[in-house]
Amino acid sequence: VRTRVAVIGAGPAGLLLSHLLGRHGIESVVIDSRSREEIETTIRAGILEQGTVEVLDRTGASDRVLTAGQKHEGIELRFDGEGHRIDFAETVGRAVWLYPQHEVLKDLVAARLAAGQDLRFQVTAERVEDAGTDRPRVVARDSEGGPIEIEAEVVVGADGSRGVAREAVTGARGGHFREYPFAWFGILCEAPPSAEELIYSNSPDGFALISQRGPGVQRMYFQCDPRTDPEAYTEERLWEILQARVPGTTLKEGPVFQRDVLRFRSFVAHDTRRGRVVLVGDAAHTVPPTGAKGMNLAVADVVLLTDALRALLLDRDGSPLDAFPEAARRRVWKAQHFSWWMTNMLHLRPEADDFDRMRQIGELRTVVESEAGRAYLAEAYTGWPLPRTA
Ligand code: DHB
C-alpha cells in the first residue's frame, strides 16, 4: 500500500488527523489493531475542552457534539464537607462539553468512511522502518496474520502509550516518567444524575469524582490502590465508599453495570519526531486523568501537526514540521503541570499525615476564595487557545 500519510491508531488523534488532512486533499491510510466495535464501545474519557469542540464542529468531524453533548459552565470542588463552584462562564467566558470519547470516535469513523477514506481495523502494526528516509514504512499484519506494508511520505504514531511507534522515534531514550501511588476505580451505573455538574471531591477517605453520561447513566470514580481487583467489592460496598467520599452530598444510587481500574501515570517522550516519523497523543505523552486533559492534548497535537504536514506535503516547506515537537511540547508541559496539580491537590497519598491533609484544604481554599485562583483553574480546565488554522 502506498499513501501520503500512514497513521497508526484509530483513536481520537489518528482519526482526527486523517479527517483534517483529508479536508486539505492529503490522502492517508489509518490502521488499528482493534475492531471497529471495540473502538466504538470502549468507555474512556468524557470531557472536551471548548477548543476541541470548536475543531470538531468547524471541520465537520462531528455534527452531534453540540446536540448530543452537554455544555458545562462550571465544576464543583468539594472539601471539608462543602461544595464550591468554579464558574467557567463568569471567570473566563468559556465552557467544556461532556461528550464521551467513544461517541467522538463513532462520529470520526463515520466521517472517514463517508469520505471513502482507507481505514483498516484489525490490522496490527509491528514496526516502523526507514524513519530516517523520505519513504518510511509501517510493517503490519491483518487479522489472518497476512503481511501488509504501508509506504508513505510521513508515518504518524497515534497508537497510544503501548504502541510500536514510540520505539521507532525515541529508541532507548524514553522520556520523563512519573508514577502515582493510587489509581481510579471507575463505575458506570444506571441512575439519575446526582448533580448537574461534575464534582471533584477531596475527602478524608480519599478522592472521588462524580461525573455523568446522560439522564439514566452516570460515571463515577474513586481513588483506590493500583492493585485493586475491580471485582473485589460488592455493589453495596462501592456505594458506601462513594457516598463517604462526597460528605454533604447524597448520591443517587443504581445498578453498577461496568467497573474498571485506571492506572495513573505521567509521561513525556524525549523525542516526538525522528525524520519522517512523528508521535501524537498518548504515544507521545500520558497524563493522569484528574484534569481531563488526555484526549484534548491529542487533539491539540493533531491541530499543530496538520499545519506542519500541510506545509511539508503541499508547499514542500519542512520548517513547520521542524518546529512541531517544541510547539507541541509547550502545551504538553502546561497540561502535565495542571494534571499533576489537580491530582496532588485532590488525592490522599498513602503516607499523608494531618499536616498534609490540612495543607491540601488550605490550598483548595486558596483556589476557591481567590478570583485569580478560580480563573487559573477555569482557564486550564476549559483549555488554552488552539491555532484556528487546521
Ligand atoms: C471524566 C473523566 C475525567 O478524567 C475527568 O477529569 C472528568 C470526567 C469522565 O469520564 O466523565
Q: pLDDT tens, 313-371? A: 999 999 999 999 999 999 999 999 999 999 999 999 999 999 999 999 999 999 999 99
Task: Supply the pLDDT for residue 384.
Answer: 97
Q: Is residue 306 part of a domain?
A: yes
Cβ(26)–Cβ(17) below 8 Å: no
Give the Cα separation of 198 and 74 in Å (integer).
8
Q: Is residue 342 part of a domain?
A: yes
Q: Is residue 250 part of a domain?
A: no
Spell out the residues 6+ positions from residue 248 whose beta carbon is closer than 8 angstroms to its own. 78, 81, 82, 83
Say whether 102 is catalytic.
no
Spell out the residues 6+ positions from residue 98 whose beta carbon is closer than 8 angstroms to its own. 46, 47, 48, 69, 70, 72, 198, 211, 212, 213
Q: How far is the CA of 68 from the centre of ligand 1 (A)?
A: 17
Element (H, E) at 101: helix 101-114
The closest-lying atom of ligand 1 relative to the alpha carbon of residue 43 is 10
Determine which residue's CA is closest to atom 9 belonging to ligand 1: 46
100 in contact with ligand 1, CB cutoff 6 A: no
The residue to mutate among 211, 297, 342, 347, having the most atoms of ligand 1 within 8 angstroms of its beta carbon, is 211
Q: Is residue 381 part of a domain?
A: no
Q: What is the pTM of this model?
A: 0.97
Say whether 99 is catalytic.
no
Query: What number of other Cβ atoms are within 10 A of residue 359's Cβ?
Result: 13
Task: Supply the pLDDT for residue 63.
Answer: 85
Q: What is the mean pLDDT of residues 8-26?
A: 98
Q: How many residues can be counted in the chain?
A: 390
Say whether 293 is catalytic.
yes
pLDDT digits (tens, 9 = 90+) for 229-274: 999 999 999 999 999 999 999 999 999 999 999 999 999 999 999 9
45 in contact with ligand 1, CB cutoff 6 A: yes
Assess whether pLDDT exceeds 90 at residue 305.
yes
Selected catalytic residue, list 12, 136, 289, 325:
289
Query: What number of other Cβ atoms are within 10 A of residue 387's Cβ?
Result: 13
How many independent structural domains does the chain possess? 1
Number of Cα atoms under 13 Å in the Cβ half of residue 57 = 15
Determine which residue's CA is closest to atom 7 belonging to ligand 1: 292
Selected catalytic residue, list 72, 102, 285, 347:
72
Instruction: For residue 65, give the CATH number of its domain.
Output: 3.50.50.60
288 in contact with ligand 1, CB cutoff 6 A: no
Nearest to 365 by CA among 104, 80, 95: 80
Spell out the residues 6+ positions from residue 264 whose beta carbon is closer than 8 angstroms to its own. 179, 180, 182, 183, 184, 226, 288, 289, 343
Say whether 72 is catalytic.
yes
Selected catalytic residue, list 193, 293, 325, 347:
293
Reported ipTM: the value is 0.98
**pLDDT confidence band for 390 (50 / 70 / 90):** confident
pLDDT digits (tens, 9 = 90+) for 36-67: 999 999 989 899 999 999 999 999 999 899 99
Q: How far is the CA of 271 from the centre of ligand 1 (A)?
A: 28
Q: How far is the CA of 46 from the centre of ligand 1 (A)?
A: 5
The residue to mutate among 198, 217, 338, having the most atoms of ligand 1 within 8 angstroms of its beta carbon, is 198
Q: How far is the CA of 125 from the centre of ligand 1 (A)?
A: 29
47 in contact with ligand 1, CB cutoff 6 A: yes
Domain that holds residue 61: 5-73+99-176+267-348
Q: Is residue 362 part of a domain?
A: no
CA 98 to chain centre: 13
φ, ψ of residue 362 in degrees (nearest 5): -60, -40
Q: Is residue 144 part of a domain?
A: yes
Q: Which amino acid is at 43?
A: I
pLDDT digits (tens, 9 = 90+) for 146-204: 999 999 999 999 999 999 999 999 998 999 999 999 999 999 999 999 999 999 999 99
Q: Is residue 301 part of a domain?
A: yes
Of 118-122, 145-149, 385-389, minimum mean pLDDT range:
385-389
46 in contact with ligand 1, CB cutoff 6 A: yes
95 in contact with ligand 1, CB cutoff 6 A: no
Q: Is residue 246 part of a domain?
A: no
Q: What is the mean pLDDT of residues 268-292?
A: 97
Determine which residue's CA is closest to atom 1 belonging to ligand 1: 46
211 in contact with ligand 1, CB cutoff 6 A: yes
Say whether 200 is catalytic.
yes
Task: List the grid coordinates of 154.
Answer: 510521513
Task: Supply the pLDDT for residue 89.
Answer: 97
Nearest to 271 by CA among 326, 321, 205, 216: 326
Q: How far is the CA of 382 from the centre of ligand 1 (A)?
A: 13
